[in-house]
């Protein structure tokens, strides 16, 4: 196993990260079984985000369809984005890479590959194949073994919707936050109490252990109470608006004018997030294509191939037009 070239335990910055979708060439452009990864568009989109207030990327998370890519494709994508960002003047731009498998040995293989490719952190999904049968003590041990041997610092990724409803409890976060190579978590669920408990826990060093939500509709409320930020899919389309909300919330202002702006943007973001919640990866990809002109209308890889139903994008005009107006104003 290789040794990391970065200091163990280095924490990611606060702010908005984007769980970027993985871009593919049109299926019709290749005779292969699956559409090929489009690294050029991936880089273009990443640079756009870096230039518009986004403080970091999550490559190959759930939105990035890591489970649909081969080992070589994952390496090509992460290394390609790292090179593209460096060439564009962002040599140390923050990159987390998603690890979505259950076997400890395979998790460590992914992390080693991502270290070689240039990611600074691994976002490691809770091993939820057996769901609630994986008790909290075993989760603690699993993450500890991974962190002990990982070549880069890791974050705990709790997404009950793809892990048979497994839920990491605040007590487990408190325990794992003490590990020098575990530097944060992403909670992709609606239990705001868990976000607040972990963000304010006096037994956790919050300069070292960062708490992120997977939902932009929670951004203002949780950042006001200590969270580090969000890893938010809507920001793939409207980066400046979500980043502006983060910048304001992070200052925790009390003056009426600033509070009014936060409320206005949070309302717009929360309304538009309903589209993300309804259509997920396919919706994000179509949104990026329609708003930024990047990618295709062919969705992801099977079984996520396809586009929105005819007329569906137009049904969300009230929410998306509000976001577009804000984005243009910033």
**Residue 268: its H or E element:** helix 256-292
For the residues 173-188, what does the mean pLDDT come to?
A: 98
pTM for this prediction? 0.94
15-251 fold: TIM Barrel (3.20.20)
Task: Quote the pLDDT of residue 4.
Answer: 38
Based on its alpha-carbon atoms, the radius of gyration of the chain, rounded to whole angstroms, reads 19
Has residue 95 got a pLDDT over 80? yes
Across the chain, which distance is largest between two alpha carbons, in Å? Answer: 60
194-197: long-range contacts, CB 8 A cutoff, minimum separation 24: 194/169, 194/170, 195/222, 195/225, 195/227, 196/222, 196/225, 196/226, 196/227, 197/170
All structural domains of the chain with their residue ranges:
15-251
Nearest C-alpha neighbor of 233 from the set 178, 180, 275? 275
Structure confidence by residue, pLDDT tens digits, 268-287: 999 999 999 999 999 999 99
CB 181 within 8 A of CB 11: no
DSSP string, 86-146: HHTT-TT--EEEEE----HHHHHHHHHHHHHHT-SEEEEE---TTGGGS-HHHHHHHHHHH
% of the chain residues with pLDDT over 90: 91
* Mean of per-residue pLDDT scores for the chain: 94
Has residue 154 got a pLDDT over 90? yes
Has residue 72 got a pLDDT over 70? yes
In angstroms, the CA 23 to CA 43 distance is 10
């Amino acid at each position: 196993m290789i040794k990391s070239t970065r200091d163990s335990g280095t924490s990611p910055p606060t702010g908005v990260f984007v769980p970027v979708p993985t871009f593919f060439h049109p299926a019709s452009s290749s005779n292969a079984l699956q559409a090929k990864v489009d690294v050029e568009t991936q880089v273009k989109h990443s640079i756009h985000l870096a230039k518009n207030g986004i403080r970091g990327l999550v490559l190959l998370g759930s939105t990035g369809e890591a489970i649909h890519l081969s080992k070589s494709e994952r390496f090509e994508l992460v290394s390609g984005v790292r090179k593209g960002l460096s060439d564009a003047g962002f040599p140390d731009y923050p990159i987390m890479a998603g690890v979505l498998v259950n076997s400890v040995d395979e998790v460590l293989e992914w992390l080693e590959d991502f270290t070689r490719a240039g990611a600074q952190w691994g976002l490691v999904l809770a091993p939820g194949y057996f769901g609630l049968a994986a008790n909290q003590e075993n989760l603690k041990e699993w993450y500890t073994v991974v962190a002990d041997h990982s070549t880069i610092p890791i974050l705990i990724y709790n997404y009950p919707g793809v892990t048979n409803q497994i839920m990491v409890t605040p007590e487990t976060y408190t325990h794992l936050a003490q590990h020098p190579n575990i530097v944060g978590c992403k909670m992709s669920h609606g239990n705001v109490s868990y976000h607040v408990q972990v963000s304010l826990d006096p037994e956790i060093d919050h300069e070292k252990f960062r708490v992120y939500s997977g939902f932009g509709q929670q951004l203002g409320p949780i950042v006001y109470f200590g969270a580090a930020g969000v890893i938010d899919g809507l920001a793939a389309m409207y980066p400046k608006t979500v980043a502006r909300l983060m910048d304001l919330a992070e200052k925790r202002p009390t003056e009426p004018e600033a509070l009014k702006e936060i409320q206005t943007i949070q309302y717009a973001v929360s309304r538009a997030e309903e589209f993300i919640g309804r259509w997920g990866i396919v919706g994000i990809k179509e949104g990026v294509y329609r708003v930024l002109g990047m990618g295709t209308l062919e969705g992801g890889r099977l079984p996520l191939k396809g586009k929105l139903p005819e007329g569906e994008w137009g049904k969300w005009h009230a929410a998306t037009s509000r976001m577009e107006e804000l984005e243009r104003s910033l």
